[in-house]
Amino acid sequence: MSPLIGPGVDRVDGPAKVRGAATYPTDVTYPDLAHAALVRSTIASGRLIAIDDADARAASGVLAVITHETAAKVKAAPFGLLGPAPPPPLQDDRIHHHGQYVAVVVAETPHEASMAAGLVKVEYERGDPPLLDFDDPRSELEPTPWDTATRRGDVDAGLAEAAVVHEATYTTADNTNNPLGLFATVAAWEGDTLTVHDATQWPAYAQATIAEVLGIAPTAVRVRAPYVGGAFGAGLFVWQHVILAVFASRAVGRPVKLVLSRPQMFTGVGHRPSSVQTIRMGVRRDGELVAIEHVSTNSAALDHASIEPISGATARSYSCANVATSDRQRRLNIAFPGSMRGPGHAQGNFALESAIDELAYELGFDPLEMRLRNFAEVHPQSGLPWSSNALRECYAVGADRFGWSNRNPEVGSMRDGHWKIGYGLAAVSWSWWQVRCQARATITRDGHAEVRSAASDPGTGTRTVMRQLAAERLGLPLDHVRFELGDSDMPWSPASGGSSLTASLGNAVHAACNALLQQLLDLAGDDDRSPLRGYALHDVVATSGRIQLRTDPRCGEHYTDILACHQLNELTAEAEATPPSEEDAELARSGPFAAKFVEVRVDEDLGLIHAARVTTVVDAGRILNEKTARSQILGGTIGGIGQALLEETVTDAGTGRIVNATLGDYLIPVNADTPDNDVVFVGEPDPLTPLGAKGLGEIGLVGIAAAIANGVHHATGRRIRSIPITLDKLL
């Protein structure tokens, strides 16, 4: 194995970030930059009667005020990979949620824009009381935009033959992404071409969406996002403030910057929707699952049908002959939901793994044994062998490192002073997801290489890992390779999301480097004096800045000599990697797997809950950089603790206003909430891709909530089926 791949290297962008040299969207500036501020609705349902912007227009430094009466009428955003994008802003007088944008003010400075926005007077006609409650009879159940249901066997027949049937309802709260960096957009028109600097996780999609909305060619739009200050899924859509910045820039004929405030982040860039899930599960006395039915309902915006596949993972998680899953939604007067780390699975896994645990206790089984007895030896839906699945090893290694054998099976029996101790467990799987991706590789006459792709790196380490891969394939020192990303003018890349980018982009980087080596060989083949003449790519290796024969290291040429011989300053190759076809597949595409073990401590007097220890064992195929991979799992674990114990976006039942839309009121884990984290990687490279890598961004979070809830039950005997688990539920 190459020393560059595996244990890993430090983040190559770390020095720039700590020096403040990394340019985030909030840092972008132009000599004549203007600034925008938003005016938001103070009702959740109704219509705009009048907007009085006279005082705002007369205020110091104000350049323009744009409302639905003056905004350009544009096309609806296209239906993309993640479903329908949010509708364009300021297109009519209807109000669908509290905090909806009703105007944008443009001024010389941020302070002047904000002050003027406060001077805009809005008159409303209130409509019916807003739809804010799952139980409101006015909100009808409807299917999600895509049919995500799965079915095999006969669930009713399976339940009829079961010795024990478990049925329960599980609920999860709204969560808000809250990345550290506030989302910002800078839009700059130059004639008929537009440059947008944005906190996006998908520059290529942002380019296509903006162009579609405006009705212009994609080539007239350039989206740049070299650095993103975190996102957790919030950067996967083109949100309404992006379009407003574009409107504002065109209106004033200058570049315009629009930075969301923290409260605006709560309504402007998506959130994890709440869910209500019902699970019916039947087992034989020996613990064999015979039927699972998982029905989920999530909240959706009144004017935007989001996709949240909550129940889908249940169908592939365990061996069971009879399974049915389905997802529905209720439209409410809320801001647009969107992807948040582990979308759908984070909610669905909580219900599934809680239910499995409940059955284990009812049957008198060790929760680990219950899962092992129902391990899926093959893909449950297709019946095909897994391309790779080390979940059994995850269980074994995790149980050993965590000390699961020290668990006293009696509920409430383990104590440390006034702390009740519980051990909880959850299994995790994530879907296989890879898509086509392009990359471009260049070698220069000084022996340095540069690789480019229009991907994004919202802190996951993509820059670092791709630089490692390119250096390994080209046989160059790491400091001789640069990897550039975050620009839609670069070769097409999918989103940094869905635990798919490392494999998809890595395959493209590998292909581009191969194409570059082939071009170098082609040049050598045109040279009668070259020792590489007549040899193919499979005959050679790249090492120490040169191409040499596998069988004779003495026979080779340096890149610099090949370029100099042909009087070239550089050589460039571009390639596209595509995932393997599902047609005639002999193996089931396998995403990552993991097992989570958690020690929970509950104060018997106060009901305080502390996740003291977490052991996470992950099968993610070939680990390309263990440092950045471990960081992903650690961050996801902390996010999972937030979902389990702290995070809940609270909406006022009367007005639809989010009442805790600040980091002072919306609770997230801090250092004192962070447990002793043990992360281990197991498994082998997955054979379906050249790199053998599988994604792992999501599975760090998924499963933590269920493991904590299961640990709380073991410690206290209380089965909590609603998260977050707050102390009032235990007192």
Q: For residue 697, give the 3-state DSSP assignment.
A: coil
pLDDT number for residue 79:
74
Which pLDDT score, from 0 to 100, does residue 82 have? 72
pLDDT (0 to 100) of residue 207: 97
Per-residue pLDDT of 101-115, as tens digits, reads: 999 999 999 999 999
Taking the CB of residue 469, how many other CB atoms lie within 10 A of it? 29
Please give the pLDDT value at position 1. Answer: 42
Share of the chain above pLDDT 70, in %: 99
Contact between 155 and 291 (Cβ < 8 Å): yes
Taking the whole predicted model, whether its pTM rises above 0.75 is answered as: yes
| CA distances from residue 47 to 91, 264, 495 in whole angstroms, order as listed | 12, 21, 36
The secondary element (H helix, E strand) that includes residue 549 is strand 546-549
Do 316 and 376 touch, CB atoms closer than 8 A? yes
Torsion of CA 653, 718, 678, 11, to 10 degrees: 0
Cα separation of 295 and 150, whole Å?
11
Peptide bond into 724 cis (omega under 30): yes
Catalytic residues: 698
User: Does the pLDDT value for residue 83 go beyond 90?
Assistant: no
What confidence category does residue 262 fall into, taking pLDDT thresholds of 50, 70 and 90?
very high
Q: Decide: helix, strand or coil at residue 449.
A: strand
pLDDT band at 3 (very low <50, low <70, confident <90, very high): confident
- Structural domains for the chain: 18-128+178-268 (3.30.365.10), 275-433+585-729 (3.30.365.10), 435-577 (3.30.365.10)
More confident position, 583 or 566: 566
What is the CB-side half-sphere exposure of residue 347 using CA atoms within 13 A?
31
List, in sequence order, every residue forming a beta bridge with 80; answer none if it has no partner. Answer: 83
Mean pLDDT over 503-513 rounds to 96
Question: What mean pLDDT, rounded, does the chain reach?
Answer: 95
List Cβ neighbours of 499 (8 Å cut-off, separation of 6 or more): 430, 433, 591, 592, 694, 695, 696, 697, 698, 699
Q: In what order do the strands lie in the sheet with 449-452?
A: 481-484, 449-452, 437-444, 570-577
Q: Is 726 exposed, middle or buried (0-12, 13-18, 19+ CB in 10 A)?
A: middle
Question: 574: closest CA among 442, 456, 434?
Answer: 442
Q: Tell me the two tokens of residue 45.
A: 């349902």
Q: Dihedral, CA atoms, 44, 46, 50, 52, nearest 10 degrees?
A: 0
Average the pLDDT over each of 159-163, 382-386, 461-465, 580-584 and give the range with the smallest value.
580-584
N-term to C-term CA, the chain: 54
Quick check: 574 and 453 in contact, CB under 8 A?
A: no
What is the residue whose two structure tokens read 């089965």? 719
- Residue 233's region, left for phi above 0, alpha for psi from -120 to 50, else beta, is left
The whole-angstrom separation of Cα 219 and Cα 313 is 38
Q: 304 forms bridges with which residues in the sheet?
A: 301
Which of 240-244, 247-251, 525-529 is the least confident region?
525-529
Under 8 Å between Cβ of 426 and 355: no
Confidence of residue 584 (pLDDT cuts 50, 70, 90): low
Give the Cβ contact number of residue 5 at 10 Å.
Answer: 20
User: pLDDT by residue (tens digit) across 407-439?
Assistant: 999 999 999 999 999 999 999 999 888 889 999
Q: What is the DSSP string of 161-208?
A: H-SEEEEEEEEE--B----SSPPEEEEEEETTEEEEEE--S-HHHHHH
pLDDT at 286: 97
Angle CA 204–210–213, to nearest 5: 140
State the SS3 of 234-258: HHHCCCHHHHHHHHHHHHHCCCEEE
| Structure confidence by residue, pLDDT tens digits, 351-363 | 999 999 999 999 9
Q: Quick check: 144 and 305 in contact, CB under 8 A?
A: yes
- Output phi, psi for 80, to 5 deg: -105, -165
Q: 136 falls in which pLDDT band (50, 70, 90)?
A: very high
pLDDT in tens, 648-680: 999 999 999 999 999 999 999 999 999 999 999
